[in-house]
Structure 1
Amino acid sequence: MKQSNLGDRDIQLIIGNLLRYGVWTALTVATLGGIIYLFRHDREFVNYQTFVEHDDNIFDVIKHMLNGVFQGYGHSIILLGVMLLFLTPILRLIFSLVAFFIEKDYLYVGITLLVIGIICFSVFFGFAH
């Protein structure tokens, strides 16, 4: 049997496509949410003098966002698009981690794990104030 190995060029092509399609998907979802939001709230008056700050953790935000997406709320679909945009480079890091591990490039495996760890720490334990 012939064994197929991924070369550096193949990995770079996959990573490029991952970033490209991730950004396009996020843009499409956010645009769809914006259109839905505009059609449902086109005559609504917005008061920009008051700002309500919520101090929710990331799990509450995701739960409320998904509930809103399933109910068809435009602002939740826009937030889903933004979340997808944030997740795109995270997915790139995870794919890079797997690629470095397959290539047995353990220095870059360690560096990538450190970067993923820093991102996870800042998302889950970050302070708002």
Structure 2
Amino acid sequence: MIIDAPTATAARAARFWAAALGATAGPFAPAPQFTSLHHAIPGLVTAVQAVDDDPRIHLDFETDDVAAETARLIALGAQEVSQWQECRVLSLRQLEVAGQRAGVVGPQSARAGRGQEPLEKIV
């Protein structure tokens, strides 16, 4: 997953997403416009890309405890701006991390209801 961020805010975006995803941010030498988010999502390349354009992603944090995950992201500096059904919509604009939005949702994947470890414990 590539998180596009304007060049001026890409470093701040990489720091935020690394903290939010429990990853380690590091340069990707062959292509300096990328900052790798190592081990952010097992089996998926995840990076922030500095671009001369607008942000292009929407990321949902899937969790068994929407309220707790929302509180954790707010503690990192996100701001709740709306709620749609059970999803909380967060703005990261005030962090100057490319004006991105994130959602916090309850279980959506095949893991739900199967007794499998939540993704945040695997990461």
TM tier relative to shorter chain: under 0.3
TM-score by length of 1: 0.23
TM-score by length of 2: 0.24
Higher strand share: 2
Of the two structures, which has the highest relative contact order with CA contacts closer than 8 Å and spacing of 6 or more?
1
